[in-house]
Structure formats: C-alpha cells, structure tokens
Amino acid sequence: MGDRLPRKVYERELARLQAELVKLQEWVRAERRRLVVIFEGRDAAGKGSTIKRITEYLNPRVARIVALPRPDDRERGQWYFQRYVEQLPAAGEIVLMDRSWYNRAGVEWVMGFCSNEEHRRFLHQCPIFERLLVEDGVLLRKYWFSVSETEQEHRIRARLSDPVRRWKLSAVDLESIEHWDDYSRAKDEMILYTDIPEAPWSIVDSDDKRRARVNMIAHLLGSVPYHEVPPPAIRLPQRPPATGYRRPEKNPGNYVPDHAATL
C-alpha cells in the first residue's frame, strides 16, 4: 500500500464513486436484480465506516444493512444458514452484510462458540450454499478487510478513549488482540475452503481507511455490469392559488426551543 491518501483526493473520488453507487442502485431496481455484499475482517478493520459511505446517498428501501445480533435459543436450533436466508434480498434490492454467515469460520470458531463438527460442517456447506445463491441469480460479492496488528491496536485504543465510539467495543473485540494468530489461522482456512470461482474473496488492504474505502467501492462497481438508467421525467406542478384559508395562531409551546441561538 502507498502513502496515506490525501483528504482532498479522497473526498473528490468518494463523491464520484457515490454518484456511481446511485446509478448501480437504480440499475438493480430497474432490472430487478439481487445484490449481496459481504463485509468481513478483523475488529476495527474499517468495515462499518465503508458501509456508511456506501449507503450515504442510497435509498434505504433498496439498499439495506444487515448486522445480526447473537442468535437466540430458537435460532441456535435452526440450520445454521437459515437466519441469513431470511435476510437475503428480493428482486430489486441490495443487502450489505456487516459480518455474515462467516461468523462461524471466524469469531465463533476462535472463541469456542461452535464445536469442531459445526466448524467442519460449515466449511463443507458454505461453498454449496453460495453456489446455489449464484445459480439462482444472486450477485454475491465478498470482501475481507485486512488490517495490520499495529493499526488494529491503535484503532481499538482510540475507541476506548472516544465516548461516541466506545460502544463499538465488546469483550470479544478486546479479546481478539490476544488471539491474533488464532484469527489468522482461521481466516486462512476459511479462504482455502470458500474462495470459489462462483464467489471469490476480494482482499482490501485497510491500514489506510480512505484508500480502503475508495478501493473497495471502485472494485465493487467494476464487478457489476450495471449501466445508467434514465430517470423518469418529473414536472414540478404549479402551486394552486390561495383559497382564503387562515391558519390558527402558532402555539409557541409546540415548537422546539431555539438551542442554536444559545451557541
């Protein structure tokens, strides 16, 4: 990776890419396609901030973020992929998965939340499951955000001292520092079994968050054969003439106090 991407260059390119993401969204909607984008990687690797930039100007009725909590008792008794199947897009929708079914190959396996048998079964079933999705017409894109050990620790320490970002850290996140090699082995094994031609992994070097965001978004756009869909013609109607209706006097109690005036 090169030097840190200058802010002005980053902001200019991000704006261009976000305009293209809107075109991608309209193509997905018009062509009734189904797009799933998986974001995986170590804690504090920059997945969430990238998703935020992707969805900033998208229609939440078309592009939806999925970040599932821990499975409840009922979900633990289901087929492992079942809770994720329920989140898949319908025609004309985009789903961005902030972590996905790959939890089983990562945090669940490393932290002992699944058995050896469950882990082996996942590595066997996952490629089959993904081939079925692709065969059915789902556009499946998988991104792994790779961060160095030093940069990850720096970001976690920054979150610890930041009151508006501290909520992002859990006990499992903090323990991940002690399991760096275990996560490395788990990731390498996961890639070995699930990097299939129908749904390959794309690795994003994310030590520089700005560079990672524009690289990932540009790659996503380049991987989908979308085209610009002409927007429908819209005419702003003329305001009708006044009819003499007189509104009641304003009640000051119904208005939010002008906090800005105290600044």
Confidence tier at 22 by pLDDT (50, 70, 90): very high
Confidence tier at 165 by pLDDT (50, 70, 90): confident
pLDDT at 254 over 80: no
Confidence tier at 205 by pLDDT (50, 70, 90): very high
The mean per-residue pLDDT over the stretch 161-182 comes to 83
pLDDT at 257 over 90: no
pLDDT at 2: 57
Confidence tier at 79 by pLDDT (50, 70, 90): very high
pLDDT at 256: 83
pLDDT at 172 over 80: no
Assign 3-class secondary structure to the chain. CCCCCCHHHHHHHHHHHHHHHHHHHHHHHHHCCEEEEEEEECCCCCHHHHHHHHHCCCCCCCEEEECCCCCCHHHHCCCCCHHHHCCCCCCCEEEEEECCHHHHHCHHHHCCCCCHHHHHHHHHHHHHHHHHHHHCCEEEEEEEEECCHHHHHHHHHHHHCCCCCHHHCCHHHHHHHHHHHHHHHHHHHHHHHHCECCECEEEEECCCHHHHHHHHHHHHHHHCCCCCCCCCCCCCCCCCCCCCCCCCCCCHHHCCCCHHHHC
pLDDT at 110: 95
pTM here? 0.92
pLDDT at 1 over 70: no
pLDDT digits (tens, 9 = 90+) for 24-68: 999 999 999 999 999 999 989 999 999 999 999 999 999 999 999
